[in-house]
Chains A and B, each alone.
Chain A
Amino acid sequence: MDDNSAVKIADPGRRAAAYWFADGLPELAYGTALAISEGATLLLGLYLRTLPMLLVTIAGYLALIVLFAWEHSVVGLIKARITYPRTGYVQPPGTDFDPSSSVQTLGLTPESSARRNFSWFRGRIVLLLMVVPQALQVFDQPWALPALMVLLALLFYFTSRESEVPVSLISAVLLALLGFVPMLIGFPLRGRVFVAGLLGGLWLMARGLWKLALYLHNHPTPRVNAGAGA
């Protein structure tokens, strides 16, 4: 599904940021939290009005809040068992790029400025998947959801090419196509906001799982723990 664009990044800081996403775990974590919270809200709003579902919804949103606050710790705990023994540890990326920390390193062109280890993943992809679907409340039309998903897919595809989490063409097409599923199965209009969030969460989960499977396939468990080297 996804290509390996991260390996084409030359800057050490950007490579380190891309490395955080190499195993798909951050996408899997955010996708799961998003799918649970939006899915539970959808079920609660449309079909069920029982207390346990309310608790599941609250738990889903809490999981998202925890992830936003402690992503590096939460995902890092899983990475400590899966990623670090296989391919090593590097400092997790920050979420803001500080231009003042940029310095010119080797090279004669302005583009050779060193960039720090930071990530736009949460701001560009996770937040957009949560916030943009709210626009559906304005458009009371069946085509609004597919149009929104196509728009998101285009946005992600074109804005992420140079980022640490590039969205491949296949992945973007998949997201766009997901938007047509509720229309095809005749899903009621009033739950579309949460359907969009749910589909976005499932899309992130699928990306994360695919990347994790590829990562585990390409990096089998090391026989000797080389992490204690030097």
Chain B
Amino acid sequence: MNPQAQELGQLDRIIHEPARLAIMMILHGAGEADFVYLQREGGFTQGNLSSHLLKLEEAGYVKIEKTFKGRVPLTLCRLTPKGGDAFLEYSRRMVQVLQRGTTLAKAK
């Protein structure tokens, strides 16, 4: 089996979906964010974001907490340590795959 294809197959499928990858990137860079911020930043619909957050929460990558800032109810989301590690591992693998792909393309 092609080693590159093998590496691609080892990528975390939960994170690899573009919407979930965007959520993980935003949360990794920003710290914690609420539902409205994620919706605006990612350009998601409410239902779309809810379903992706649910999948990330089920995988243990994101912690969702209902809380208040002042009197405003917020649905706060943040990466769990497991989620942070998974994201870094995904990034590392993806960079490796892309770097090899670039090297091969240059060799041609």
Contacts and interface: CB of A to CB of B under 8 A. Distances in A.
A91 B77 CA distance: 10
B37 A105 contact: no
B107 interface: no
A228 B95 CA distance: 36
A91 B88 contact: no
Interface string B13-52: 0000000000001111111111111111100001001100
B108 interface: no
Interface in A69-105: 76-77, 79-81, 84-85, 87-91, 103-105
Nearest to B34: A89
Contact of B49 (A79, A80, A117, A230): A230
Contacts, number: 125
Nearest to A17: B30
A15 B91 CA distance: 20
Interface residues of A, number: 35
Interface stretch (A108-116, A150-158, A191-199): A108-116
A227 B30 contact: no
Listed residue (A77, A85, A106, A227) with the most chain B CB atoms within 10 angstroms of its CB: A227
B9 to A, nearest CB: 18
B53 to A, nearest CB: 6
A85 B25 CA distance: 23
Contacts of B98: 106-108
A117 B30 contact: yes
Given A103-B88, A106-B94, A87 B46 contact: no
A227 B34 contact: yes
Given A81-B71, A105-B25, A108-B99, 6 more contacts: A12-B41, A84-B34, A114-B28, A117-B31, A226-B46, A230-B75
Interface of A: 11-16, 19, 76-77, 79-81, 84-85, 87-91, 103-108, 114-117, 225-230
25 contacts: A12-B25, A12-B30, A16-B30, A19-B37, A81-B70, A89-B33, A90-B37, A91-B33, A105-B28, A106-B91, A106-B95, A107-B95, A114-B28, A116-B29, A117-B29, A226-B35, A226-B46, A227-B34, A227-B36, A227-B74, A228-B74, A229-B36, A229-B39, A229-B50, A230-B64
3 tightest Cβ-Cβ pairs between the two chains A and B? A12-B29, A80-B70, A88-B36
